[in-house]
Chains A and B, each alone.
Chain A
Amino acid sequence: MPAQAIPELLDIPTFKHLTLYTGNVMKTSVAGRSKVLGKKSNTELINAIDDTLCASLGGNKPSFRYIDQESLLEVPDLRSRSRILPEDRSDVEVTAKLFYLGEKPKDNAAYIRSSVEHLQRLLGVDTIDTFIVSLGEADVSSAWKQLELLHQQNILNKLGVADFSQKQLETILSDSSVTVKPSVNQINVGQCCDMPSAMIDLARKHHIELLHNADQADILDTESLSALLQKHNIRATVKPQFVIKYHVFVRCRSVVNDKGYVVVGDSLP
């Protein structure tokens, strides 16, 4: 954009809620460009949002959906289709990770239900193979109850947590009210110099997979999200409520077919 031009604001109605889909970041070069070794980061998500805003709202014909009754603005990514064909469903593993952002939400369970619905629609699936929660400040037990319910309904298979310390793991494992134990704990071990042997033993004993975590827990904040929107000529301040990260893995070929994010936020007055 030439420096002298006055940026035009996009002709978007005022909205209370925002849902943004990044599409398949494996194929848009965003995932390829994230330098991931070592510490946790959120660069991939930031680049993905930027990339989608550019692709969907840039150019001559911006694409978005505005649902009047809910004052909801939906920004899709039109470059890829994420629906999994029914005949391919058993070949792939669908993993979702829900990041709780901001202060404690009033209804923990609502975010989980909402994420599951988003993914069922987006990917065209009934079930999710692994569902991980990155809780932040949110309350474990009410979130976990909702996960167990969905597990009993055969909608979620493996349940997982992120960044749990050994103590937190021991607590949830010994909690008798927890009927479905976590099968996954995502942790980051940096440059692999210090492997947490006690946690590894604990995990092995309770059949918990310790998976690599490259994401920072506060993966998105109001400032970053709003800056991106402003960059693309949307004058709004949006506070992210939660982010869903998902990927689709073809099991017998070890190919990542799809990876993306769904960002859900509320506009601040």
Chain B
Amino acid sequence: MGLLSLGTPLHWNDAKKYADHVRSHGIDQFLSVYRKQRSRQKQCLLWGDEVEYVVVKLDKENHTTKLSLRAFDILASLQKTEQDYLEGKTTQPPEALWRPEYGRFMIEGTPGEPYGATFRDLMTVEASMKKRRQLAIEAMLPDEIPVTLVNYPRLGCPNELEIDSEPHGKACQSMFVPDEVINPHARFPTLTANIRRRRGAKVEINMPIFHDKNTPRPFIDPTIPYDREVFDHDKEAKNGAAKPDHIYMDAMAFGMGCCCLQITFQACNIDEARRLYDHLAPVAPIMLALTGASPIYRGYLADVDARWNVIASAVDDRTPEERGLKPLENDRFVINKSRYDSIDTYISNDAMYKEKYNDLDLVYDKDIYEKLRKNDVDDLLARHMAHLFIRDPLVIFEELLDQDDENSMDHFENLQSTNWQTVRFKPPPPNSDIGWRVEFRSMEVQLTDFENAAFSVFIVLLTRVILSFGLNLYIPITKVDENMATAHKRGSVLNDKFYFRKNVFTNNKPGANSNSHIEEEDEYELMTMNEIINGKDQGFPGFVPLIHSYLSSTNIDIETRCELTRYLSLISKRASGELMTGATYLRKLVTSHPQYKQDSVVSPEITYDLINTVDRIARGELKAPELLGDFNA
């Protein structure tokens, strides 16, 4: 997550004084890269995946699990190969790169080198992921396991940490999690505390509880210590922050402690990057729903299947004024979303874009906009940057305040990397061959490497399909936001419909008259997940059939094609309901457990069996036909 510079991070009271400095130089740094790199052409497809894991201590003798806080030590061991390589001690490049994440219980792995453009490259993804899992296991203690669960189900419940601490940490000031869950690098506790200080309150996360037969109505959570008086912020829960019928969480760890699957790929030039950004934005909520695998929070079954809104609330640093709760006095803007959320504006300049798709009243910094325009940045891109830069930098290192704007992107990345969006437009780093890139960020990590590989390959193939067929996936941004909300709903893959463009092949109708039928051409409608992924008769062909058409238009060999068909078949069956989503499967593991009392409570015993089961499935020791059908993990 973001950059890990070295130095002394400033307390919010000091950091806010330098906000304009960071923003102003951040824009200068962007302009420097923009000037130097905007004409770069013909870059090849290179891409990579990021898989995140939680580290769990699994005690098979006592049937207990604990979240292990040893990620820091585990990473030191995992990173040795990379370090040796960078220091010239070996010529063998590392097979995987490992990075710390927000949680002290989390590790993140990426392939040692980016994948290339060929179909053969797509076939190496699963092996790379399996290798990473193996390396992680080898770096851990015998009773520790890396699990690709979106979250540890009982994070925030008492006695779930190894090693345990009381939730009395000054950074989080949470009633449920101690500061020990946060990565010890200075950046993370500072980020946590500064979000709280800027907001003026703890973050407030409320996910609807799943009401089962014996779940009380209304559900008032008995595990919340309403009357605690360790910190001033403790009274927020009883003063309304903890909503009835919801699972209340009060720390960044509940959000940023979630694991996801992210894909970053390089475009051939800046225009292609902008175009893919735009067309992947409507795909983000679709994939969030399809990969949904997080139905449990703080030991309770929730009525949501996906994590996005949890994270959005977990880092929401907006003040009451910015949230529109008080008239604007000290703050400049009323802002409609948390700094972690879906995008607010399309940015592509090509012929398919139309102004009516950007139907959100965009909040942006007018001065920054003007400066960008004066420096030859076009309107859409200038508005996008000026919108990202309405935020304050939350972590500022005193030693790094003064930078060489021609050779550093630190100040730019400060804002860029703390605007966490569904898709991210990434300019090239300075002094590098790396080009303009897009990051696809909405997917939830899946239980097995087979699934993670399938979804990664699916997204990459989808980008090739968008480019080869010239697909137009534009719908109004507000409809993409509505889809994000729908994507959270329990069982949305089977039960709900999503807004989707009716005609994705625009400009292509035989005898197309460019003036008539335009409104009709741009229509969107509500479609089921099955229709979006597998197609509807006489309508949208479906993402999977489109990918097959694309593959049939290439010189792909039969073996590679058959392998890719396996991945596409998994995606297809998840969308049709023939196979369960991760969330549905995890729910079933809980509700069918003999000790489950139909009261939404996910006890330590149930958690042990759940984690043991998913670990065995990931290792290929246990079959899960409802989740994976005939496919092997």
Binding site for B on A (CB under 8 A): 26-29, 31-37, 51, 54-55, 58-59, 79, 91, 93, 95, 130, 184, 187, 189, 192, 195, 200, 209-212, 214, 247, 249, 251-257, 259
The smallest C-beta distance from B506 to any residue of chain A, in angstroms, reads 9
Is B552 a contact partner of A214 (Cβ separation < 8 A)? yes
Indicate if the CB atoms of A252 and B552 lie closer than 8 Å: no
B554 at the interface (CB under 8 A from A): yes
User: Assuming A192-B562, A210-B558, is B469 touching A26 (CB within 8 A)?
Assistant: yes
CB of A246, distance to nearest CB on chain B (Å): 10
Evaluate contact between B545 and A200: CB separation under 8 angstroms.
Answer: no
Most buried by A among B510, B511, B559: B510
Please give, as numbers and ranges, the residues of chain B lying within 8 Å of A247 by CB-CB distance. 553-554
Residues of B within 8 A of A251 (CB): 117
Report the nearest A residue to B45, measured CB to CB: A253
Given contacts A29-B508, A58-B511, contact A254 B546 (CB under 8 A): no
Would B553 and A27 count as touching, CB distance under 8 A? no
Q: List 13 A-B contacts (CB under 8 A).
A: A26-B470, A26-B553, A27-B507, A35-B541, A93-B555, A192-B561, A195-B559, A210-B559, A212-B551, A251-B117, A252-B44, A252-B45, A256-B468
Q: Which residues of B contact A93 (CB under 8 A)?
A: 555
Please give me the residue from chain B that is nearest to A41 by CB atom.
B552
Q: Inside 8 A of B553's CB, which chain A residues have their CB?
A: 26, 31, 247, 256, 259
- Determine which of B504, B546, B551, B558 lies in contact with A189 in the assembled complex, contact meaning CB atoms within 8 Å: B558
Question: How far does the alpha carbon of A35 sit from the alpha carbon of B553 in the complex, in Å?
Answer: 12
Q: Which chain A residues border B562 with CB–CB below 8 Å?
A: 189, 192, 195
3 closest pairs, A vs B, by CB? Answer: A29-B505, A252-B44, A192-B562
Count of B interface residues, CB-CB < 8 Å: 39
Chain A residues contacting B135 (CB-CB under 8 Å) are: none
Contacts A93-B555, A211-B558, A254-B45: A32 and B510 contacting too (C-beta < 8 A)?
Answer: no
In chain B, residues 494-542, which have Cβ atoms closer than 8 Å to a Cβ of chain A? 504-505, 507-511, 541
With a cutoff of 8 Å between Cβ atoms, the chain A residues found around residue B505 in the complex are: 28-29, 32
With both beta carbons as reference points, the residue of chain A lying nearest to B504 in the complex is identified as A32
Contact A54–B555 (Cβ < 8 Å): no
Indicate if the CB atoms of A31 and B119 lie closer than 8 Å.
no
Contact B118 A254 (CB under 8 A): yes
**Are B117 and A212 within 8 A (Cβ)?**
no
Q: Is the CB of B464 closer than 8 A to any CB of chain A?
A: yes
**Chain B residues in 8 Å Cβ range of A29:** 469, 505, 508-509
Say yes or no: is B137 at the interface (Cβ < 8 Å to chain A).
Answer: no
Q: Are the C-beta atoms of A254 and B552 separated by less than 8 Å?
A: no
Q: Which residues of B contact A254 (CB under 8 A)?
A: 45, 117-119, 464, 554
In the assembly, what is the distance between CA of A211 and CA of B511, in Å? 35
Smallest Cβ distance from B521 to chain A, in angstroms?
12
Chain B residues with CB under 8 Å of A192's CB are: 558, 561-562, 565
Question: Would you call A54 and B558 a contact (CB within 8 A)?
Answer: no
Contacts of B552 in A (CB 8 A): 34, 36, 212, 214
User: Counting CB contacts under 8 A, is B232 at the interface?
Assistant: no
Chain B positions within 8 Å of A37 at CB level? 545, 548, 565
Residue of A nearest to B562 (CB): A192
* B-side contacts of A34, CB under 8 Å: 549, 552
Complex Cα–Cα for A189 and B268 (A): 34
Taking the complex as formed, is B229 at the interface, i.e. its CB lies under 8 A from any CB of chain A?
A: no
User: What residues of B have a CB within 8 angstroms of the CB of A35 in the complex?
Assistant: 541, 545
Given A26-B553, A37-B548: A55 and B558 interface contact (C-beta under 8 Å)? no
Residues of A within 8 A of B333 (CB): none
- Contact flag A253-B511 (CB < 8 Å), given A32-B546, A211-B558, A247-B554: no
Which one, B44, B45, B550, contacts A256 given CB within 8 A? B550
Residues of chain A contacted by B510 (CB below 8 angstroms): 28, 51, 54-55, 58
A26, A33, A36, A195: the one within 8 Å of B468 (CB): A26
User: A95 to chain B: which residues have CB within 8 Å?
Assistant: 555
Q: Complex: how many Å from CA A79 to CA B44?
A: 28
B46 to A, closest residue via Cβ: A252
Q: A212-B557, A252-B45 are in contact. Are A33 and B541 (CB under 8 A)?
A: yes
Decide yes or no whether B362 CB sits under 8 A from chain A: no
Q: CB within 8 A of B558: which of A58, A130, A187, A259?
A: A187
- Inter-chain CA distance A27–B553, complex, in Å, is 13
Supplied contacts A29-B509, A33-B549, 9 more A-B pairs, CB within 8 Å: A54-B511, A210-B559, A211-B555, A211-B557, A212-B552, A212-B557, A247-B553, A252-B116, A253-B45
B570 to chain A, nearest CB (A): 14
Beta-carbon nearest neighbor of A256 in chain B? B468
Q: Which of B268, B550, B561 touches A253 (beta carbons < 8 Å)?
A: B268
Chain A residues with CB below 8 A from B546, complex form: 32
| B76 located at the interface, meaning its Cβ lies under 8 Å from any Cβ of chain A in the complex | no
Q: Which residue of B lies closest to A196 (CB)?
A: B558
Determine whether the beta carbon of B508 is less than 8 Å from that of A253. no
B42 within 8 A of A: yes
Give the distance in Å from the alpha carbon of A258 to the alpha carbon of B11 in the complex.
57
Q: Which of A26, A91, A210, A257 contacts B557 (CB 8 A)?
A: A210
B163 at the binding interface (Cβ < 8 Å): no
* B1 beta carbon closer than 8 Å to chain A: no
A33 to B552, CA, bound (A): 12
Contacting residues, chain A, for B548 (C-beta < 8 A):
36-37
Contact of A255 (CB < 8 Å), options: B467, B511, B558: B467
On whether the beta carbons of B556 and A36 are closer than 8 Å, the reply is no
Min Cβ gap B510→A in Å is 4
Q: Given A91-B42, A93-B555, A209-B557, is A31 in contact with B117 using a C-beta cutoff of 8 Å? A: no
Q: Which chain B residues border A252 with CB–CB below 8 Å?
A: 44-45, 116-117
- Residue in contact with A212 in the complex, picked from B42, B464, B467, B558, CB distance below 8 Å: B558
Q: List, in ascending order, chain B residues with CB within 8 A of A209's CB.
A: 555, 557
CB distance from B395 to the nearest CB of A (A): 37
CA distance A58 to B508 in the complex (A): 15
Q: Which residues of B contact A184 (CB under 8 A)?
A: 555
Residue in contact with B469 in the complex, picked from A31, A200, A211, CB distance below 8 Å: A31
Q: Which residue of B lies closest to A52 (CB)?
A: B510
Asked if B549 and A36 make an inter-chain contact with CB atoms under 8 angstroms apart, the answer reads yes
- Report A-chain residues with C-beta under 8 Å of the C-beta of B470: 26-27
| Known contacts A26-B469, A58-B510; is-contact A200 B559 (Cβ 8 Å) | yes
**A187 partner residues in chain B, CB cutoff 8 A:** 558
Nearest-Cβ distance from residue B113 to partner chain A, whole angstroms: 16
Q: Is the CB of A211 within 8 A of B556?
A: yes
Known contacts A211-B555, A212-B556, A247-B554; A31/B44 CB under 8 A: no
CA distance A179 to B126 in the complex (A): 41
CA distance A41 to B116 in the complex (A): 32
A198 to B549 CA separation, bound complex (whole angstroms): 28
Which A residues touch B118, using CB under 8 A?
254
| Contact between chains at A32 and B268 (CB < 8 Å) | no
With a CB–CB cut-off of 8 A, which chain A residues contact B117? Answer: 251-254
A33 to B509, CA, bound (A): 13
Chain B, 26-58, CB within 8 A of any chain A CB: 42, 44-45
Residues of A within 8 A of B116 (CB): 252
Distance in angstroms between the alpha carbons of A160 and B122 in the assembled complex: 25
Closest chain B residue to A193, Cβ basis: B562
**Residue with the greatest number of chain A CB neighbours at <10 A, chosen from B551, B552, B561:** B552
